[in-house]
Structure 1
Amino acid sequence: MTDPSGGTDHLAPPVPGRRHFGIFLRAVLFLLFVRFFGSLIASVLVETIGYFPAAALSFFLAATIASAFVVRAFERGRLEDIGMGWTRDSQRHLLLGTAAGIAGAAFATLLPLAFGAASFEKAPDWSYTPGRLLFVSVLLLFGVAGEEMMFRGYAFQILLREYSPPAVIGVFAVLFALAHADNPNASRLGLINTGLWGALLGYAFLRARDLWLPIGLHFGWNWVLPLVGVHLSGFEMTLSGYHLVWRGSDLWSGGAYGPEASILTSVAVVALGAWLWRARLNRQIAPLVEAKNVRTDSADRQG
């Protein structure tokens, strides 16, 4: 029967003697499906709605469809079992994560203003409107949710129940960085910082046992960068009609890739990691990670 508390009772029990290889293969196939199906959807949408909306929506759709299918097919579970259940703790984690992400991005982008190393200038090709701000914010949220379902969702969580958390977090941090390797003006420090961000987001899931905390962190960070008019992972956009123009070296500004390729982002990620380590979070139930300890539905019915 369904567990009304939102626990793991509704999930299928693990098969005795299940080999690690089967779990690993399932995770790889999930990632490949999301990657290629997302690219296929994007190629169809890009001519109609443009690159950025197509990229954000396509991987969200691909990750949602793939997650719902594999959780149902292999775990007899629900989409919310990947850490998307909506509870009071979920709301708190989303808000905390968003606030922390905003604070980290503000440090990496606005601190130079205090030292005269950067200034705001009018962006002639961009203008601010409330509708544009809302539209881009929603697209950023969809894009972030899609990436988190892909990199911290089903595949990440089923591997967590079979392998050590540091190993799984490390592997997915590398995959997260590699997924950004083809972005415009990608640099070595930019990819290192992206990998550090991947590790941070993996640790956020580990601390909260839901996707809402990493979604909040990721969204808060991604939202601030275009708001202050700097490149986001190599892509140019602005929500305010202004650009942040740097006077320092690329080591501090990140160059054409944006602040994510700067040493300030490295410091911000470390600071956010320290905050995560000390933060008071209400750890939720992660059904896919804790599936080894669930009871079978049939046993519940027979009891």
Structure 2
Amino acid sequence: MVRSDFIMEIRRYIVNPAERRLRAPWRVTVWLFLTGFGLVVFAGLVGVLSEVADLSGPVFVVGRQISVFAAGTAVAVGIGYLLDRRSLGDYGLDLDRQWWRDAAFGLALGVGLPALVLGVELAAGFVEVSVALATVDSGVLPLTAFGPAVAVLVLGAFFLVQATAEEVLVRGYLLTNAAEGLAGWVGTRRAVIAATALTGALFGVLHWTNPSASLLSVANITLYGLLLGACYVLTGRLGLASGFHVAWNYTLALFGFPVSGLRMGVALLSTDATGPTLVTGGEFGPEGGLIALPLLGVGGAALYWWVRREYGAVELLEHIATPQLRIRTRSDTANQDG
């Protein structure tokens, strides 16, 4: 009897008996393992296909990178959907009309802030710019084989998938589950704030290994991760964060700036930073310099204005820490029967 009680007590730490699903820390652990395993299997299949069919050209290489991001996101969402028993809207993926309005504003913001960087650096004499639609050799994407015009479109497709994938995984899944897991300890409001901070820090650390990264670049990207998290927790939708992230990366690349230390291989402008590296970010791009900090203020003010305009009030959505399950829980059933 004692042994049975002990096993039941251990089980209650792993499984929520009322909701009949793993508790948040265990769900995320299983999710990470299965998602990683799924990506390894997918990459292996692609590798076998490339060997058998002798696929090694630039079109295949670019397609492979885009497909890995797309497949990884699909696998991660699918596994999370089964493990969490949430609705897709609970991950910020309720693609209603407001979602697309948010996405459109995010795209505009993601174009406007890099344009502001370029204008300020030009005015300060910190950058030299010339019009030059061209492709260059890059270790990220082999775009030189496409020609400049097509390469611009291919790069857009790449960032659309890559940046959206990061938002779905970091904000949609991890932030949501972290908030839920912390809610029982610190309350829903503090849990959402803490989860936003934790995923913002994770976002910064994930860019630590990028070329020319520094403590300042990691700090800046952490702050931008907080801004992207705010886009989610103030709207309950990933539209604004996804639109902003996609357009920010794409516009930086087209303006000839490095994107988090990476040269993407095609640009509309030839941009050469001549100002202090501490300010411009040098080879890491604007995200690695002090120029990134005032942009956060502009971005935060724009977010505040948009949320107040579209949602009526700017408030933290505590329901992000409270899951909406796709099935009734035992407690719900008991309450209805009572």
Taking structure 2 as the reference length, the TM-score comes to 0.73
The aligned length equals 287
- Aligned counterpart, 1:158: 177
From 39, 62, 68, give the equivalent of 1:58: 68
- Give the Cα separation in 2 of the matches to 1:273 and 1:108: 16
Q: Does 1:196 align with 2:197?
A: no
Unaligned 5+ runs, structure 1: 1-13
Q: Distance in 1 between matches of 2:210 and 2:61?
A: 13
- Tell me if 1:281 matches 2:316: no
What secondary structure sits across from 2:228 in the alignment?
A: helix
Percent of aligned positions that are identical: 23
Cα gap change, 1:70/1:17 in structure 2, threshold over 3 Å: closer, same or farther? closer
State the Cα distance separating 1:181 from its structure 2 match.
1.2
Deviations 1:112-149 (CA, angstroms, capped at 9, x unpaired) = 11233212144875387332211110110100111111
Between the two structures, name the one with larger relative contact order (CA 8 Å, sep ≥ 6): 1
Kept in 1, the 8 Å contact 2:192–2:321? The answer is no
Residue number in structure 2 paired with 1:178: 205
Aligned to 2:240: 213
1:23 has 2:28 as partner: no
Question: What does residue 142 of structure 1 align with?
Answer: 161
Please name the residue that 2:98 is paired with: 89
Q: In 1, distance between residues paired with 2:302 and 2:155?
A: 28
| Residue-by-residue CA offset, 1:89-126 (whole Å, 9 max, x unaligned) | 01100001111121122222332112332121448753
2-structure distance, mates of 1:287, 1:83? 12
Could you give the per-residue CA deviations for residues 163-211 of structure 1, whole angstroms, max 9, x where no partner exists? 3122111111111111111111111111111111111111110011011
Sort the Cα spacing of 1:115 and 1:91 in 2 relative to 1 into closer, same or farther, 3 A.
Answer: same
Q: Match for 2:169: what amino acid? A: M
Computed over aligned residues only, the root mean square deviation of the Cα atoms, in angstroms, reads 3.5
Give TM-score scaled by structure 1 length. 0.80
Higher helix share: 2
Segments of 5+ residues of structure 2 without an aligned counterpart are: 1-15, 51-55, 137-143, 183-190
Cα distance in structure 1, aligned partners of 2:29 and 2:278: 35
CA gap of 1:56–1:174, structure 2 versus 1, over 3 A, is farther
Cα offset, 1:226, TM superposition: 0.7
Distance in 1 between residues matched to 2:156 and 2:46, nearest whole Å? 19
- Matched-pair contact (CA < 8 Å) for 2:129–2:270: yes
Aligned residue in 2 for 1:103: 112
Among residues 262, 267, 270, which one is paired with 1:243 in the alignment? Answer: 270
Which amino acid is 2:168 matched to? Answer: M
